[in-house]
Structure 1
Amino acid sequence: SSAASNPESAGKPGSARGLPFEDPEGLLGAPATRQVAAGLAGTPADAAVLQGFLRKAGKTGGSWKRRWCVLRRGGLTYFKQRDSEKPQGVIDTGSVVGLSLAKEEDSPPFAFHLHTLGSGKVGSSRQGPGRRFTLQAPSADALRHWLHAIAAVARFLRGGDVSSFEAGAKEAEAAALARKRRDMEEAAAAAASRERESLRRAQAEAVRRAEARRRLQA
């Protein structure tokens, strides 16, 4: 079949297998993610895992287009309309290296980022630089469904099973705790430095005043 009809045969800009998966939201260990991942092994590669309308930002982030999106194991294909036969493009899920909420000040609600290794153009086999795709779900519930489904597919394609999701969650939790400890240590060090500087200035001021009194009494 053609690249347009089978997302798994669409452009493969690169494989993320073996590379770290950036998961700041801790999606990998979530029960909903594990549930989706557990069911992927028994489904055909071209079966839809999740589908629905999402808004997709342009490359420069200035224009948003409403697209009908279909997530399969081979890619997230997006169409201009629900009944369109020709896709506008496909994001290769095998090249996804990160998934995060859009937290920029100008980001619309329920938006998220998909970080990939290369281009998302249909039929492109050219290796290329990574790209950040920004998508917006219509609601908080839809956002959760899309995040868990994409995370499950990305890890499934990397050869991960349900246990790897639990391991990923523990790794994310450990990393978060390490960051928290580091932040606390840096804050404590900064506070101690400020206290030392304040003490030094107070001592210098005391010496200056004592010297001034001595001169007046001389």
Structure 2
Amino acid sequence: MAPAAHAGPHDVDGFAMTSWEFREVRPGRADPFVVGASLGALHRALDGVPGLPWLTPATTQVTDALDVLEESGARPATEIAALRERHRAVLAELRGSAPVALLGDAHPGNLRRDDDGWFWVDLEETCTGPPEWDLAVAGGCDGVLAGYASVTGRVVDPASLGPFAAARDVEAAAWPAVMVLARPDTYAAAAQARIAQVLARVATGPGSAAAGRSSRPGPSRGSCS
């Protein structure tokens, strides 16, 4: 989806807002091969974009979220400490191939379709980092990896995605926990379940999450099937 002619950002009643082209979305989800191919096309299109931060969904977005939770007293201190330790552990395990410009939140629910074809939305987490991050978030199954390779020529080992999926799990726990502060009825149950899931994996090691099982809770979710 492309920015509108006067994209902004605009200050509207204290909120920073941007404007984007409107596209009439058709129903349906892309199959895994199309997800991978579309992700590869996006990585190629973003090649050379300057000034993008390094892997923010896995790094500062998590630390910022945990800081907010700590300052608000919304979660027990022992739980936040455990999440911080888990976060440090999974980041220490990340090993990826040559970095690219990433979508950042490449779960299949963010790939939409109109009469002109498939397009990605929700670029608020765009950053630079190993493609394994986007591929893990996208599902990481054989179809996604095959589609990605068909466009980029990069053959990615599925086993390399485990640590990235584990890092995504931590982000996917921290994000709804913060959202509870604004919308408790919507996010409280999801936050509790995600945090419990992440902390249950502490004893099994940072790379124990199965790749492709980490979509943020919310209106759009998807994984390889």
TM-score category (smaller protein)? under 0.3
TM-score for the superposition, normalised by structure 1: 0.24
CA radius of gyration, larger in: 1
Of Structure 1 and Structure 2, the greater helix share is in 2
